[in-house]
Structure 1
Amino acid sequence: MKRYIIGRLGQGVAVLALVAVVVFIISRLSGSPVNQMLPEDATEAQKEQLTRELGLDQPLPAQFGLFFVKILGGDFGESHRFHIPALELVLSRLGNTVALAVVALIIAVVIGVALGMRAALSRGKLVDHVITGLLTIGQSVPSFWIGILLILAVGVSLKWLPFAGNNSPQSIILPAITLSIVPLISIARVTRSSMIETMNKNYITTAKAKGLRGPQIVIKHMLRNSSIPVLTITGLMFAEAIGGAVITERIFAWPGIGSLAVEAIATRDYAVIQTITLIVAFFVVSISLLVDLAYLLVDPRIRVLKEVH
């Protein structure tokens, strides 16, 4: 078991190192930030001086070596737009993105698992057809369009909830609902298919023969034994929500790392772009590891298999 965990940690470190290389190269290929940092009437001498100060006149391997050494020391550089450490700036926005992703995922899990279970238990009936039809329609509708509709209907027309910024606890509701649409559909589909597969297992027949009631069978046997695919998709969806909240944050003016990333790309703020990418990669790797560990808790068979290997 320890060897497995150490091996997964090593894989995670390797992935983060690869991400650092890729984001460094791509950010440099996007162009120099010098023109954005200086006024339009800046002279060539001023541009050359700033290029030297930023170390952009050095060969790429030398730039990457300096970049990597600084990261290992916790120095992610300074935002040339805000003139503060990039890590400090990103961390100040990260909490908003994580809060948005967590609330969206809670909505997605609660509603998605409920819909998936209901559809599975009513397989082939009208309820199943209605739920799967709604999921198909929801999958074909862009989430940003749903966000715009929520703003117009709930925010502008009815004035029930705020729809811009993060000025009150209620401000998170509309963007969280918008961000939850994609994971909700995926979780519901996986729950339905996994439960249908589980319903045909011999131990379900045995449980019914022992006289167990419907709720006991559904929760203790069906849902638990169907939970591994649901855990997988939930972990993936949370990681995707952290890294893919850009559109939602822009629509609702939510002050998270998604909207910050768009601004950083527009101004070629290397330090901020690199910091956001590495932090999102860290979240993805960490969530992947936590999902693997959750497997061991949910299904003892996997725990035994890992111990054997």
Structure 2
Amino acid sequence: MARYLLHRFVQGVVVLALVAVVVFVVSRLSGNPVNQMLPENATPEQREALTRSLGLDQPLTTQFARFVGGILTGDFGHSHRFAAPALDLVLSRVGNTVALALAGLALAVVAGLTLGVLSGLRQGSHLDRVITAVVTVGQSVPSFWIGILLILVVGVQLKALPFAGASTPESIVLPALTLSVVPTVSIARVTRSSVVETLQMDHIRTARAKGLRTGELVRRHVLRNAAVPVLTITGLLLTEAVGGAVITERVFAWPGIGSLAVEAIAVRDYAVVQTITLVVAAAVVVVGVLVDLAYMAVDPRIRMTGAAR
């Protein structure tokens, strides 16, 4: 186990190093932030002075070395748009994004597992066809449209829940519902396929022949065997929710790193864009390790393979 964790740690470091290189190069190719920071009538001397103060007059190799050195010492740069350290700014927003992602994914797991298990157990029935139709519709509808619909109906007409900002605990409900739609569809489809496949296994047929009740059969055998692919898609969806909640955060004015990234990109705020990218990449690496550990806890065969590494 220790060797496996060390192996994954080294992999994570390599991934983050590659991400650092890519985000540094791409951010420099996106344009000069001086053009966004100064008015159109700024003099060449003012532009040159600001370029020097930001260190953009130095060679790219020097800029990259300074960028990497800052990361190693915990200095991710200073935001010229928000006049604050980039890391502090991102960390002040990342909690809101994580809370939204976890809330949306929790709703998706509950709804997706329920729909997938019911559909898989009743394969070919009217219930299966209805659930399949609902899942297909959910997959076809854009999430931002669902968010706007929830705002109009629940927020504006019914005035049941707040729909902008994060001023109260109830503010997370509508964006979490919006964010849960796509993951619910994915989890439901994977769960249904896993349940249908598991029900064809010999030990399941034996358990049924012995008279094991359906509820006990699902709890002890079906869900456990179907857990590995569900864990896979759930881990992927969690990283997507953390890194890709931009549209949902913008629709509901949710103060997370998605909306912060949009603002930073618009003004070429290199420090903030680079920090957000590295934080999300680190989250992806950590979630990947946690999913692998969950595999080992669920499936003894994977546990033995991991211990042998």
Q: Deviations over 1:239-289 (max 9, x none)?
A: 000000000000000011000000000010000000001001111111011
Decide which moves more: 202-211 or 67-76: 202-211
What is the CA-CA distance between 1:207 and the residue it aligns to? 1.7
For residues 283 and 308 of structure 1, the distance between their equivalents in structure 2, rounded to whole angstroms, comes to 26
Correspondence for 1:287: 287
Correspondence for 1:212: 212
1:1-309 → structure 2 map (5 Å cutoff):
1-309=1-309
Amino acid of the residue matched to residue 298 of structure 2?
V
For residues 304 and 218 of structure 1, the distance between their equivalents in structure 2, rounded to whole angstroms, comes to 25
TM-score w.r.t. length of structure 2: 0.98
What is the CA-CA distance between 1:211 and the residue it aligns to? 3.0
What is the CA-CA distance between 1:212 and the residue it aligns to? 1.9
What is the CA-CA distance between 1:206 and the residue it aligns to? 2.0
TM-score w.r.t. length of structure 1: 0.98
For residues 24 and 151 of structure 1, the distance between their equivalents in structure 2, rounded to whole angstroms, comes to 38
Q: Deviations over 1:35-60 (max 9, x none)?
A: 22223332111111111121111111
For residues 101 and 302 of structure 2, the distance between their equivalents in structure 1, rounded to whole angstroms, comes to 29
Unaligned runs of 5+ in 1: none
What is the CA-CA distance between 1:84 and the residue it aligns to? 0.7
Amino acid of the residue matched to residue 182 of structure 2?
V
Amino acid of the residue matched to residue 218 of structure 2?
V
SS of structure 2 residue aligned to 1:226: helix
Amino acid of the residue matched to residue 287 of structure 2?
I
Aligned residues: 309
Unaligned runs of 5+ in 2: none
What is the CA-CA distance between 1:208 and the residue it aligns to? 2.0
For residues 304 and 163 of structure 1, the distance between their equivalents in structure 2, rounded to whole angstroms, comes to 48
